[in-house]
Structure 1
């Protein structure tokens, strides 16, 4: 089976950085990841790694089961405001934007969920538009890259 590399390269959380995030911060991020995936209506292959990361972040077995059930039943999970780990809030926001872009499409349901998450992060709503603009540009750049890669496959090598 041929793998598809046309999606945006996954942006994953570096384990060393994850160690700096509190348990509450990890739970908050895992809930946000799950809610974005649920809002997408279907779990694309490019998004599965993000959900695995969300599960691995959470140490509480009951919460892991709750995340799995929410994904299976397509039920949005309740989130609280992010009051801890404020130094990571911007990083979380862009990380979640990358998650939206993982399948190369931005759906209205994902835009709505990112707006909700923006409020849970304590950011003004226009910051959600800024992140979405950045994500849209990223998708365009990724599509350009994929077109160039296809052209490069057709070129005969020229060694100088």
Structure 2
């Protein structure tokens, strides 16, 4: 049976001690798929929508970057990290869907999977928030980790 690293020997939650780990370059990429629907997608011009709240994709990218930086405030066992870089890319992939890729990079002792997942999710939620006046039939369909490198075990999903 695998022991959870965030549970101590008294079966209580703990934050993993990463003090003895080596500093390595670490990178994670997460994807979020968002069903927007034809009504929302038909409003796109020049790779963005502008609503009364402003430019949707630009605002969503800024929100996603903020979310990456605040991940340790949202998820209790995440370590605060000095983020080297965040790159968020939003693509309308057909007449009803958008994909959000969030890539996070650091040089540190722990990975950035949760930061990438949080960034992709908050970017999608911001698009939803800014487009809900057009349609409330949008669906955040999937959020998943695509890749992580630089830790004890690399992952490519």
TM-score (norm: length of structure 1): 0.34
Give the TM-score, by structure 2 length. 0.35
The structure in which a higher percent of residues are strand is 2
Structure showing greater relative contact order (alpha-carbon pairs closer than 8 Å, 6 or more residues apart) = 2
